[in-house]
């Protein structure tokens, strides 16, 4: 196992669970105290409330530093089906930028119509995540880019086959030679794709504008949704610039999510990487950026709507039910996380 991943993972097992339970418990107690004081959500102030005036989430940066030559090459590779064995599947097939960086289906289909075991996460803002794949088996974007190429249920190819195809394409040969002294190699292909994916940032959501000081960017209901998001402890796991993607968490901390089904290998989550029992059912916390566009939700794609996934989170992670008025406002807040890509709204 990679030393870097080990350093990240081992201290988190106990501390993350404690953080979530304590954070959620304190938040839940505080929220109920407000209720008992007859403070209806509509009556709460939204301009100077500490929950709103002290944001703990940074906005998506307006720019990131990337190598433009690699980005251009990586963009072409990302959309090239020749990376697959039968020339039918590209990175963009499962990570369609016009569909929130996903394919908007529960689990993806690879070469030969083979149905994959897990939901495709978005590639938007993936450069902000501390590891890649739901189980974190790739330490960075370059390592992730190589995975689907070699997976028999996805692209079903290998670097020698891909290199042979691309070497017959003169523009590719020139582009690689200009950037990489050793030309078309597997690690260079992965590096270029990774650089392109680093560029897939989505700044300027209404929530970002709010974080930068525009109090009018969110409505009163959306601000209340953000408050509830914090008060219930959602922010304990969905934190950082991507609102997720910087820790692993067990799905079913309060109620077993997997009791009513036969578990698949994909359901084992982080356990498949570490083989440690306490990692069973742990998954990388997904980013909430552009969450309205990247449906369906969860690693198995079982939650079709934002309302559905909130029901699962409240039941499995908080051990309670969510009230309709709470759900409505949190969903309204989540929809403010839709950003822009290359100046166009997602």
Please tell me the distance from the alpha carbon of residue 263 to that of residue 187, in angstroms, as a whole number.
35
Burial class (CB in 10 A: 0-12, 13-18, 19+), 10: exposed
Q: What tokens does 269 get?
A: 């989550």
- Nearest-CA neighbor of 151 among 191, 182, 107, 184? 107
Question: Active site includes 35?
Answer: no
- Nearest-CA neighbor of 138 among 297, 296, 2? 2
Would you say 82 and 92 are in contact if contact means Cβ atoms under 8 Å apart?
A: no
Q: DSSP readout, 166-223?
A: HTT-HHHHHHHHHH-TT-S-HHHHHHHHHHHHHT------HHHHHHTT-GGGS-HHHH
Q: What tokens does 143 get?
A: 């390592």
Neighbours of 125 (CB within 10 A): 27
Instruction: State the first-to-last Cα distance of the chain, in angstroms, to the nearest integer.
Output: 37
Annotated catalytic residue, options 154, 195, 222, 326: 154
Would you say 128 and 120 are in contact if contact means Cβ atoms under 8 Å apart?
A: no
Please tell me the distance from the alpha carbon of residue 277 to that of residue 3, in angstroms, as a whole number.
19
Supply the residues annotated as catalytic: 154
């Amino acid at each position: 196992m990679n030393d870097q991943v080990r350093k990240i993972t081992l201290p988190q097992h106990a501390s993350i669970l404690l953080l979530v339970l304590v954070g959620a418990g304190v938040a839940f107690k505080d929220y109920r105290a407000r209720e008992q004081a007859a403070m209806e959500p509509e009556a709460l102030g939204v301009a100077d409330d500490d929950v709103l005036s002290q944001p703990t989430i940074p906005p998506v940066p307006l720019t990131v530093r990337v190598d433009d030559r690699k980005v251009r090459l990586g963009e072409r590779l990302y959309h090239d089906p020749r990376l697959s064995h039968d020339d039918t599947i590209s990175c963009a097939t499962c990570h369609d930028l016009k569909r929130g960086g996903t394919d908007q289906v529960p689990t993806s289909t690879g070469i030969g119509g083979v149905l994959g075991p897990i939901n495709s996460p978005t590639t938007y803002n993936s450069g902000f995540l501390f590891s890649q794949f739901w189980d974190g088996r790739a330490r960075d974007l370059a390592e992730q880019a190589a995975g689907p190429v070699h997976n028999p249920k996805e692209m079903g190819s290998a670097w020698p086959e891909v290199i042979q195809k691309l070497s017959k394409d003169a523009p590719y040969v020139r582009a690689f030679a200009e950037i990489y002294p050793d030309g078309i190699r597997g690690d260079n292909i992965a590096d270029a794709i990774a650089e392109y994916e680093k560029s897939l940032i989505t700044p300027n959501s209404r929530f970002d504008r709010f974080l930068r000081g525009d109090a009018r960017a969110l409505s009163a209901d959306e601000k209340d949704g953000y408050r509830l998001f914090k008060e219930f402890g959602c922010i304990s796991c969905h934190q950082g610039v991507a609102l997720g993607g910087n820790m692993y968490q067990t799905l079913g901390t309060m109620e077993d999510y997997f009791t009513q089904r036969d578990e698949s290998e994909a359901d084992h989550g982080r356990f498949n990487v570490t083989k440690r029992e306490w990692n069973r059912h742990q998954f990388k916390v997904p980013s909430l950026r552009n969450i309205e566009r990247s449906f369906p939700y969860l690693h198995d794609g079982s939650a079709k709507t934002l309302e559905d996934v909130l029901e699962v989170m409240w039941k499995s992670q908080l051990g309670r039910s969510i009230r309709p008025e709470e759900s409505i406002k949190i969903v309204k807040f989540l929809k403010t996380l839709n950003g822009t890509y290359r100046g166009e709204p997602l």
